[in-house]
Chains A and B, each alone.
Chain A
Amino acid sequence: MIQVEHLTKYYGDFPAVKNLSFEIEEGHVYGFLGPNGAGKSTTMNIMTGCLSATEGHVKIDGHDIFDEPREAKKLIGYLPEIPPLYLNETPEEYLRFVGEAKGLRGAELEAQINEIVDLTGIAAVRGRCISALSKGYRQRVGIAQALVGKPKVIVLDEPTVGLDPIQIIEIRDLIRELGRTHTVIFSSHILSEVQTICEKILIINEGRLIAFDTPENLKKTLSSDSFIRLTAETTPEGARDILANIPGIAKLETKTEEGGLVSVTVSTNAGNLHSVSREIFFAFARRDKALLEMTLKKASLEDIFLELTEKSARGKSAKKRAGKGEKAS
């Protein structure tokens, strides 16, 4: 449906997007995830034809956004980060203008406006001035605008930013609803949001794509981040010795605590954390050393996100993880 090939965008000397390539298939909800300033908005602006690219191509259903903008833009509905609303108009007038600009006329236009107004839940305010609407309603009008003309793809740039929790849930439900009939791409820097709605996640950082997979696969392939933290009555050397022969341990960090204790952070890539913790328990038991505390921490998508973005940012993810482990214990 959408092919992005070797997309590069420079703002002056600053590279906002670097050699970004991915392909989006029809009929899913895609989450576009990345920290602030990662290049999400820039990429979306280029995909929708609002911005030029320094290099690379974007094809929407075979139409190049730069060479055949009219055909390509007809297939896309876009809600930018700040909803582009004419404040002195009513939602109805606004949607009529957008519809006419997208080439709709007469009865067809009216029918679509009615349908979209109902779908986005702005029927009650369709005759009120947009400047008098709350932020949640304005966001809905913005989404409604993207839906006019029945585009195949809907691109939403941070649609839930600045809304209250109830409005956020409503907008998420709406996105999920839209995902049944459209290809939806939406960006966010909130991971849980992407996780709950999206079937596939693109993680982008510093203008590069660093992961593109389903949430489950991301967890599976990157589960090396699972931790077991334990506190035992031994020395750091002793703990290393005890844990030396346990299969599945990828990495060990030890730290001496007060009162002759040692805290250990074990990173493991084993799928079944309990099999590792069981081995650890018996290993300490065989040596007659008391295991005072043991916590398991499965890698959440949050950790994966952090790890991926950190790794690509500085290549110091290990250090960061260890630091995090210390704080937690």
Chain B
Amino acid sequence: MTAVLKHELRSYFHSLTAYVFGAFLLAFVGIGAMMYNIQAAVSNFEYVLSFGCLVFVVIVPILTMRVLAEEKRQKTDQLLYSLPITTVDVIAGKYLALLVLYLIPLAIISFYPLIFAQFGDVYLLTSYGSIFAFFLMGAALIALGMFISSLTDNQGLAAGVGIALILFNYYSVSLSEYVSSTAVGSVAALFVLILAVGAVIRVVTGSANLAYAFCIAGVLAVMIVNFIDPTMLEGLVPSVMTALSLFERFYAFVNGVFDMTAVVFYLSVIGLFLFLSVQSLEKRRYN
């Protein structure tokens, strides 16, 4: 694992990726700090982070697009498979390298509240609570980006899909207001979702029967729930969209709440996508 970690870090600093990522993050947070803390003279650094998290939409996919896609394209994944290291080592090493890259600009950002505290009253607890949540949210998005990169050998595609998904996640709360909250709307949305997941199962596992079984079971379950108690389905889609939003949970920290459920949520998202990345890499051995 340390070998992969060192190798990844070296290659990031060889190329521009690390610098572009760091520069974008610092520039965006810097602009935010100038607008809120200096121009508007607000003493809450967390507002800057809440403004700055939009930058993740662009920089996380840029950072993660090549992490596994490039290995596949250059066929260097063959080397990783033949070395006496496990797939878990590979994914853990690569993920830690990404985290290190992310922590460097974040370490610089961590000084900002202290600097501002020299000139006024800064709520350091909420500031650092928010920086912590900012780190966790970024880490979760990086895990997502890495998983997307593991699915393809095309960097551009990985970046595009990454941007689309993170952007959707960013706006999912606002979008949820426009989504139908009736039971019928939920049933329709669930059907579409079940079919989509079925299609993914079909493509990923190659087993048509499994996909059909999943779709039929899912549709039946939805119909039974709808038959027994339609009120259970009311407002389901908007609330799911809100619940899945990584950004929405971050705003709780900005508002001064150290939300443990959000911490657990971020850690679960990280765990889930790292697990899926390992599986995605393992799958190539079993094609």
**Interface residues, chain A, with chain B CB atoms under 8 Å away:** 11-12, 45, 48-52, 69-71, 73-74, 76, 78, 80, 82, 84-89, 93, 97-98, 100-103, 145
Name B residues whose Cβ lies closer than 8 Å to a Cβ of A.
2-4, 6-7, 10-11, 14-15, 74-79, 81-86, 206, 285-287
Across the interface, B81 reaches (CB within 8 A) one of A12, A50, A100, namely A50
**Of B6, B14, B81, which is in contact with the most chain A CB atoms at under 10 Å from its CB?**
B81
Question: Quick check: B285 and A74 within 8 Å, CB to CB?
Answer: no
A146 nearest CB neighbor, chain B only: B82
Q: Of A71, A86, A103, A145, which is within 8 A of B74 by CB?
A: A86
A73 nearest CB neighbor, chain B only: B84
A85 contact set on B, CB distance < 8 A: 74, 76
Smallest Cβ distance from A54 to chain B, in angstroms? Answer: 9
The residue that B75 contacts in the complex, of A12, A71, A84, A103, with Cβ under 8 A, is A84
Cβ of A17 to closest chain B Cβ, rounded Å: 14
Interface residue from A52, A71, A88, A98 paired with B285 (Cβ < 8 Å): A52
Q: Would you give the shortest CB distance from B234 to chain A, in whole angstroms?
A: 45
Collect the chain A residues with CB atoms within 8 Å of residue B286's CB.
52
Q: A88-B14, A97-B7 are in contact. Are A102 and B83 (CB under 8 A)?
A: yes
Contacts of A70 in B (CB 8 A): 84-86
Contacts of A93 in B (CB 8 A): 10
Which residues from chain A contact B85 at a C-beta distance below 8 Å? 70, 101
Docked-complex contact B11 and A76, CB < 8 angstroms: no
Distance to closest chain A CB from B73 (angstroms): 11
User: Cβ of B75 and Cβ of A100 under 8 Å apart?
Assistant: no
- Taking the nearest CB of chain A, how far is it from the CB of B176, in angstroms? 41
Q: Which residues on the A side are within 8 Å of B11 (C-beta)?
A: 86, 88-89
Contact for A80 among B2, B82, B86, CB less than 8 A: B82
8 Å CB contact of A84 from B2, B79, B84: B79
Nearest residue, chain A, Cβ from B7: A97
The answer to whether B75 touches A49 (Cβ under 8 A) is no
Query: Which of A84, A86, A101, A145 neighbours the largest number of chain B CB atoms within 10 Å of its CB?
Result: A101
Residues of B within 8 A of A101 (CB): 3-4, 7, 83-85
Question: 7 closest pairs, A vs B, by CB?
Answer: A100-B3, A84-B79, A73-B84, A50-B81, A101-B3, A78-B82, A97-B7
Partner of B78 from the list A11, A50, A89 (CB cut-off 8 Å) is A50
Q: How far is the CA of A45 from the CA of B77 in the complex (A)?
A: 12
Cβ B3 vs Cβ A84 within 8 A: no
Which residues of B sit under 8 angstroms from A45, Cβ to Cβ? 78
Q: List 8 A-B contacts (CB under 8 A).
A: A70-B84, A74-B84, A76-B82, A86-B74, A88-B15, A97-B7, A100-B7, A101-B4
Bound-complex Cα distance A56 to B10 (A):
40
Q: Which residues of B contact A78 (CB under 8 A)?
A: 78, 82
Asked if A48 meets B84 with Cβ closer than 8 Å, knowing A84-B74, A89-B11, A89-B14, the reply is no
Contact in complex: B74, A80 (CB < 8 Å):
no
In the assembled complex, the CB of A182 is this many whole angstroms from the nearest CB of chain B, namely: 16
Most buried by A among B7, B10, B14, B287: B7
Q: How many Å lie between the Cα of A51 and that of B83 in the bound state?
A: 13
Q: How far is the CB of B13 from chain A (nearest CB, A)?
A: 11
Are A50 and B285 interface neighbours, CB within 8 A? yes
Other-chain contact of B76, A49, A71, A86 (Cβ < 8 Å) = A86
- CB neighbours (8 Å) of B74 from chain A are 84-87
Given A84-B77, A102-B84, 16 more A-B residue pairs with CB atoms under 8 Å apart are A12-B206, A49-B81, A50-B81, A52-B285, A70-B86, A73-B82, A78-B82, A80-B78, A82-B75, A87-B74, A88-B14, A93-B10, A97-B3, A101-B84, A101-B85, A102-B83
A52–B285 Cα gap in the complex (Å)? 5
Q: Which interface residue of B6, B84, B286 has the most chain A CB atoms within 10 A? A: B84
How far, in whole Å, are A48 and B84 apart by their CA atoms in the complex?
10
Q: How far is the CA of A240 from the CA of B15 in the complex (A)?
A: 77
Instruction: Point out the residues of chain A lying under 8 angstroms from B82, CB to CB.
Output: 48-50, 73, 76, 78, 80
Report the minimum CB–CB distance from B43 to chain A (whole Å): 45
- Please name all residues of chain A whose beta carbon is closer than 8 Å to the beta carbon of B76 when the two chains form the complex: 84-86
Residues on A with C-beta less than 8 A from B77 are 84
- Chain A positions within 8 Å of B84 at CB level: 69-71, 73-74, 101-103
Contacts of A76 in B (CB 8 A): 82
A52: chain B residues at CB < 8 Å are 285-286
Is A98 touching B81 in the complex (CB atoms < 8 A)? no
User: Which B residue sits closest to A12, measured CB to CB?
Assistant: B206
B14's closest neighbor in chain A, by CB? A88
A145 touching B86 by the CB < 8 A rule?
A: no
When distances are taken between beta carbons in the complex, the residues of chain B under 8 Å from A86 are: 11, 74, 76
Question: Smallest distance from the beta carbon of B286 to chain A beta carbons, Å?
Answer: 5
Rounded to whole angstroms, the CA-CA distance of A174 and B206 in the bound complex is 43
CA distance A45 to B74 in the complex (A): 17
- How distant is A151 from chain B, measured CB to nearest CB, in Å? 10
How many Å lie between the Cα of A88 and that of B10 in the bound state? 11
Give the distance to chain A from B4, nearest Cβ to Cβ, in Å.
7
Q: How far is the CB of B145 from chain A (nearest CB, A)?
A: 21
Instruction: Compute how far the CA of A257 lies from the CA of B56 in the bound complex, rounded to whole angstroms.
Output: 83
- Chain A residues closer than 8 Å to B206, beta-carbon distance: 12
A76, B83: Cα distance in complex, Å: 9
In angstroms, Cα B84 to Cα A102, docked, is 6
Query: Least Cβ distance of B83 to chain A in Å?
Result: 4
Roughly how many angstroms separate A100 CA and B15 CA in the complex, as a whole number? 21
Residue of B nearest to A75 (CB): B84
Interface centre among A11, A76, A78, A97 (most CB of B within 10 A): A97
B81 contacts which chain A residues (CB < 8 A)? 48-51
Contacts of B15 in A (CB 8 A): 88
